């Protein structure tokens, strides 16, 4: 492995890096998975070249944590497609993708994993395929089913965080309940029209989705009529991914128990403590 490395200047430091091809070849020769080879390289202080732009925003220890990390992404549409791409590119080691739906024509305006050629295909399966094409060093499971109160706890087995990229309140509340039982943080996101919202609920938070939605358990038809613009989903999904990277890297989430409201029509971002809602 070492013979295929080169030194790259990052800030005032020199970092040893390795390209994908020799690392994949090393994995095959050693009879280990690409992910295991990647982790071995990092433990030796060798950074896969694909992650070099993560530095100096992150350090080697944090990159190792990302590559060891795991996340459940529930929903692979407008928010989920953004989240999956960004987590895969950053190097999050294990992703579990859950979505019961298939791509349809109306998804094309905002859902990054959709394209004309894969209309009618499973969102979860296509998202997994695309993520592996982006990063062959991660491991991905996908399930083409809906999350509910019966299966949520099991779907979160061995996961470190849960990302809510759903489009219905029943599933959101079921995911929150499962995350609490698993003692893992929930990163919530929702969008409609020009507007979006995001919040992080630590497992011991005194707040919950009920703080945001009250007694509501079904989506308001007026909200449904707003549609969803692509940039709105991209913004909120990116904020969710940012918080996921912080948590998995061992940092504190910025929006723990805080509500971020995005008004794309007015061009404003508002953050409030959940206690103020």
- What is the greatest pairwise CA distance in the chain? 61
Q: What is the pTM of this model?
A: 0.96
Instruction: Name residues of the chain where pLDDT drops below 70.
Output: 216-224
Inter-helix orientation angle 78-90/123-134, to 10°: 30
199-232 pLDDT per residue, tens: 999 999 999 999 999 876 666 665 667 889 999 9
The token pair at 168 is: 């219905």
Sign of the torsion angle spanned by Cα atoms 141, 131, 198, 222: negative
Domain borders along the chain are: 2-63, 69-276
Inter-helix orientation angle 230-248/78-90, to 10°: 40
Which of 93, 10, 85, 92 is CA-nearest to residue 49? Answer: 10
Place of tokens 């959940």: 274
Which of 205, 200, 181 is CA-nearest to residue 244? Answer: 200
Task: Report the chain's mean pLDDT, rounded to a whole number.
Answer: 95
Architecture of domain 69-276: 3-Layer(aba) Sandwich (3.40)
3-state secondary structure of 7: strand
Residue 219 is predicted with a pLDDT of 66
Which of 188, 183, 126, 189 is CA-nearest to residue 156? Answer: 183
3-state secondary structure of 74: strand
CB contact at 8 A, 189 and 196? yes
Report CA-CA distances (Å) from 144 to 111, 166, 237: 17, 14, 21
Q: How crowded is the C-beta side of 124, counted as CA atoms within 13 Å?
A: 20
């Amino acid at each position: 492995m070492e013979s295929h490395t080169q030194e790259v200047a990052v800030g005032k430091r020199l970092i040893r890096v390795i390209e994908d091809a020799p690392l994949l070849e090393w994995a095959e020769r050693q009879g280990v998975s690409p992910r295991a080879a990647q982790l071995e390289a990092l433990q030796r202080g060798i950074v896969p070249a694909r992650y070099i732009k993560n530095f100096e925003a992150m350090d080697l220890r944090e990159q190792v944590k990302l590559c060891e990390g795991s996340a459940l992404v529930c929903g692979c549409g407008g928010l989920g497609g953004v989240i999956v791409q960004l987590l895969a590119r950053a190097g999050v080691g294990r992703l579990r993708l859950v979505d019961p739906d298939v791509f349809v024509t109306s998804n094309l305006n905002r859902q990054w994993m959709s394209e004309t050629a894969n209309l009618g295909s499973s969102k979860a399966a296509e998202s997994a395929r695309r993520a592996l094409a982006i990063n062959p060093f991660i491991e991905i499971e996908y399930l083409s089913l809906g999350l509910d109160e019966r299966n949520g706890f099991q779907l979160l087995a061995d996961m470190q965080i849960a990302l809510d990229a759903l489009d219905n309140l029943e599933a959101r509340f079921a995911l929150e309940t499962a995350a609490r039982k698993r003692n893992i943080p929930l990163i919530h996101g929702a969008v409609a029209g020009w507007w979006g919202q995001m919040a992080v609920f630590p497992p011991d938070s005194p707040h919950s989705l009920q703080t945001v939605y009250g007694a509501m358990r079904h989506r308001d038809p007026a909200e449904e009529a707003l549609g969803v613009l692509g940039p709105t989903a991209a913004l909120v999904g990116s904020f969710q991914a940012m918080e996921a990277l912080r948590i998995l890297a061992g940092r504190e989430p910025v929006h723990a128990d805080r509500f971020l409201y995005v008004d794309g029509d007015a061009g404003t971002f508002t953050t409030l403590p959940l206690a103020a809602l």
